[in-house]
């Protein structure tokens, strides 16, 4: 089924114990689309300024990503993020955030994209997420991501968004921050009360959990021996999760469990290199091989 993503396209500078990647391609929609394209065609909606140094057509060369929804906005500047990681690199430290074009009006969803059935609202301002969702005709399955700065600064708008979606994906710290509860099982219940039928909580190297009514599932992370840059791992997780569900056209809990497993192994590829270097260099066979390994590891 048709899968649309809207979110950020960014110019990132990332510092980890393994080195520095300066002015590299980033953004939630970019990582999501690269991961989702292993499973299904992707309709890409986003906006950059005329200062953007990247050619998205080249970034997605050979991938089934339709860039008809990409807007290059004259006179505007592209979103920029500078972050660093320390220790076990479980949490990113935001050193500089320039919203630039993301603080302006959202891009227009092309008419040919407005019938999209599966929709992912990648991490960006919740007001923009709502405005973009309102441009679509009748999506069947809507999933959204968020981050700590929106939880802190845009709580009311974020809660309004949650009433319009089917699944919320967020990390452990964000779940605790939004619900003010350190018990993740309770936090998931509190989040579902705000609207989404299911909640997926990412726990970094410790895996992830899925919570719904009478549904609870946990999966460990895929053991990765070399972690160079965790940036974009969560977006790639969401991309594989949504890409798989759109490819099978199913959204019940059974298929979500498989989707989470695909998200887990796809995210494990991203962290092995800086920016898009690792995930862009592999094919679907590598993802399937890791899925088989993860399935074997978790059997008992």
- Cα 10 to Cα 102: distance, rounded to the nearest angstrom: 10
CATH code of the domain covering residue 105: 3.40.1190.20
User: What pLDDT score does 90 carry?
Assistant: 80
Q: First-to-last CA distance in the chain?
A: 34
pLDDT in tens, 267-298: 999 999 999 999 999 999 999 999 999 999 99
Q: Sign (positive/negative) of CA torsion 111, 112, 115, 117?
A: negative
Which backbone phi and psi does 125 adopt, to 5 degrees? Answer: -55, 130
DSSP 52: -
Quote the number of domains for the chain: 1
Mean pLDDT of the chain: 95
Look up the domain containing 173 and give its range: 3-297
Q: How many helices (H) and strands (E) does the chain have?
A: 10, 13
pLDDT in tens, 93-151: 899 999 999 999 999 999 999 999 999 999 888 998 999 999 999 999 999 999 888 89
Residue 226, pLDDT > 90, answer no
Find the mean pLDDT for residues 212-224.
Answer: 94
pLDDT in tens, 177-208: 999 999 999 999 999 999 999 999 999 889 99
List the beta bridge partners of residue 10. Answer: 26, 79
Confidence of residue 250 (pLDDT cuts 50, 70, 90): very high
- Cα 37 to Cα 239: distance, rounded to the nearest angstrom: 8
């Amino acid at each position: 089924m048709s899968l649309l993503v809207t979110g950020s396209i960014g110019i990132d500078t990332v510092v980890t114990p393994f080195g520095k990647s300066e002015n590299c391609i980033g953004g939630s929609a970019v990582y999501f689309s690269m991961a989702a394209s292993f499973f299904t065609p992707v309709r890409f909606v986003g906006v950059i300024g005329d200062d953007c140094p990247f050619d998205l057509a080249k970034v997605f060369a050979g991938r089934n990503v339709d860039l008809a929804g990409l807007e290059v906005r004259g006179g505007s500047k592209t979103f920029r993020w500078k972050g660093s990681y320390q220790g076990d690199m479980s949490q990113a430290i935001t050193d500089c955030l320039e919203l630039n074009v993301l603080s302006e009006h959202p891009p227009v969803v092309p008419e040919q994209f407005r019938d999209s059935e599966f929709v992912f609202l990648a991490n960006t301002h919740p007001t923009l997420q709502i405005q973009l969702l309102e441009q679509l005709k009748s999506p069947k399955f809507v999933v959204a991501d968020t981050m700590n700065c929106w939880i802190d600064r845009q709580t009311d708008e974020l809660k309004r968004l949650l009433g319009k979606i089917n699944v919320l994906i967020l990390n452990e710290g964000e779940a605790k921050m939004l619900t003010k509860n350190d018990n993740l099982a309770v936090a998931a219940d509190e989040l579902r009360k705000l609207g989404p039928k299911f909640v997926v909580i990412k726990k970094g190297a410790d895996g992830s959990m899925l919570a719904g009514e009478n549904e609870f599932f946990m999966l460990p992370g895929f053991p990765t021996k070399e972690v160079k840059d965790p940036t974009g791992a969560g977006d790639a997780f969401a991309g594989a999760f949504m890409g798989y569900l759109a490819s099978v056209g199913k959204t019940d809990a059974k298929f979500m469990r498989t989707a989470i497993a695909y998200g887990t192994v796809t995210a494990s590829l991203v962290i092995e290199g800086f920016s898009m270097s690792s995930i862009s260099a592999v094919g679907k066979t590598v993802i399937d091989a890791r899925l088989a390994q993860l399935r074997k590891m978790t059997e008992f």
